[in-house]
């Protein structure tokens, strides 16, 4: 009553009371009580107790305890504990300890220890030790040791040791040893040793030994020994010894001995002895003896003529004559007593 054919009350045909066909009461067909089909109680199908299918307890499927699939405990799949995949502990993939991938410790990728990429130890890219690119040790590009490009040791480019470009040792450019440009040793341009251009030894240009140009020894240009240019010994230019230009000994230019130019001894130019120019002895120019200029004796300038005297004449004297002389004569050329 209340069952299918040949079944127990409340049970499918051929099943145990309270279960599906051919299963134990309270479980799926063919399964252990409280598990999935063919599984252990509390475990998924074909899995170990407390694990995923086919895994060890507490481990993912096919993994070692405490690791991902097929890895060691505490590491990624296929890696050593504490490293990335296939790497050494504390190292990036395929790298040596403490380096980048495929590098030596403390070196960049593909480089030798202590160098830049593809360089030798202590060298920049592609250079020898201590050298820039493509250079020899201690040299700039394309140079020899201790030299600039294309230079010999200790020189500039293309020079000898201790010499500038294109120069002989100890000289400037294109100069003989110990000389300036184009000169002999110790000489300026085109000169002899110890001489300026075109000069003799120890002399300026075109000069004799010990003199300036064109001079005698110890003399300036064109001068006689002990004189200035074109002057006799001991005199100034063009003068006699001890005299200025064109003068007599002890006299200024054009003067007689002891006088100024064109004057008598002890007299100013053109004056009578002891007077100014063209004056009477002891009288100012153009004045009469004892008077102011152009005045009559004893009369103020421009005043009337003295009694018995013509205007402009001196008392007792013809017009324009000097006392004691004939008209128009000068006092004799001798000192006044």
Name beta bridge partners: 157. 151
Instruction: Please say if the pLDDT value at position 288 is more than 50.
Output: yes
pLDDT in the model for residue 289: 56
Burial of residue 235, with CB atoms counted within 10 A of its CB: 0-12 exposed, 13-18 middle, 19 or more buried = buried
Query: Tokens 């153009």 correspond to what residue?
Result: 286
- Residue 228 CA: distances (Å) to CA of 6, 131, 187, 236, 312: 166, 68, 29, 6, 55
Instruction: Please say if the pLDDT value at position 97 is more than 50.
Output: yes
| Phi, psi of 293, rounded to the nearest 5 degrees | -60, 135
Task: Assign 255 to helix, strand or coil.
Answer: strand
Sorting pLDDT into bands at 50, 70 and 90, what band is 53? low
Sorting pLDDT into bands at 50, 70 and 90, what band is 306? very low
Sorting pLDDT into bands at 50, 70 and 90, what band is 312? low
197 in Cβ contact with 191 (< 8 Å): yes
How do residues 211-253 score in pLDDT, each as one tens digit? 445 444 544 555 444 454 544 444 444 444 544 455 445 445 5
162 in Cβ contact with 172 (< 8 Å): no
Best CA proximity match to 26, nearest among 13, 48, 11, 43: 11
Instruction: Please say if the pLDDT value at position 70 is more than 50.
Output: no
Instruction: Please say if the pLDDT value at position 318 is more than 50.
Output: yes
220 in Cβ contact with 229 (< 8 Å): yes
- Tokens representing 311 are 């205007």
Sorting pLDDT into bands at 50, 70 and 90, what band is 336? very low
Instruction: Please say if the pLDDT value at position 144 is more than 50.
Output: no
pLDDT in the model for residue 337: 43
pTM (whole model) above 0.75: no
pLDDT > 90 in the chain, percent: 0
318 in Cβ contact with 327 (< 8 Å): yes
166 in Cβ contact with 159 (< 8 Å): yes
How do residues 104-136 score in pLDDT, each as one tens digit? 555 555 555 555 555 444 444 554 454 445 444
Distance CA 180, CA 255 (A): 54
The rounded radius of gyration (Å) of the Cα atoms in the chain is: 68
64 in Cβ contact with 72 (< 8 Å): yes
Provide the residue count of the chain.
337
């Amino acid at each position: 009553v209340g069952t299918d054919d040949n079944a127990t009350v409340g049970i499918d045909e051929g099943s145990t009371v309270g279960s599906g066909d051919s299963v134990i009461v309270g479980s799926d067909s063919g399964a252990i009580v409280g598990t999935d089909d063919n599984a252990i109680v509390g475990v998924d199908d074909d899995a170990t107790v407390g694990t995923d299918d086919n895994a060890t307890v507490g481990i993912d499927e096919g993994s070692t305890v405490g690791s991902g699939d097929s890895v060691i405990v505490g590491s990624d799949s296929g890696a050593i504990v504490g490293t990335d995949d296939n790497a050494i502990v504390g190292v990036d993939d395929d790298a040596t300890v403490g380096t980048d991938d495929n590098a030596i410790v403390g070196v960049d990728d593909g480089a030798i220890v202590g160098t830049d990429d593809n360089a030798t130890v202590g060298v920049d890219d592609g250079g020898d030790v201590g050298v820039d690119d493509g250079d020899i040790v201690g040299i700039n590009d394309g140079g020899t040791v201790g030299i600039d490009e294309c230079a010999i040791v200790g020189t500039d480019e293309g020079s000898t040791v201790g010499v500038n470009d294109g120069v002989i040792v100890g000289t400037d450019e294109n100069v003989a040893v110990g000389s300036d440009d184009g000169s002999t040793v110790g000489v300026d341009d085109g000169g002899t040793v110890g001489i300026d251009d075109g000069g003799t030894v120890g002399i300026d240009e075109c000069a004799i030994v010990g003199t300036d140009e064109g001079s005698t020894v110890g003399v300036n240009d064109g001068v006689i020994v002990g004189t200035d240019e074109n002057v006799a010994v001991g005199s100034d230019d063009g003068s006699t010894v001890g005299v200025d230009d064109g003068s007599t000994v002890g006299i200024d230019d054009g003067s007689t001995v002891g006088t100024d130019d064109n004057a008598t001894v002890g007299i100013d130019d053109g004056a009578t002895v002891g007077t100014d120019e063209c004056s009477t002895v002891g009288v100012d120019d153009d004045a009469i003896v004892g008077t102011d200029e152009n005045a009559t004796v004893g009369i103020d300038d421009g005043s009337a003529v003295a009694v018995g005297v013509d205007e402009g004449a001196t008392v007792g004297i013809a017009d324009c004559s000097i006392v004691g002389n004939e008209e128009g004569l000068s006092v004799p050329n001798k000192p006044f007593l």
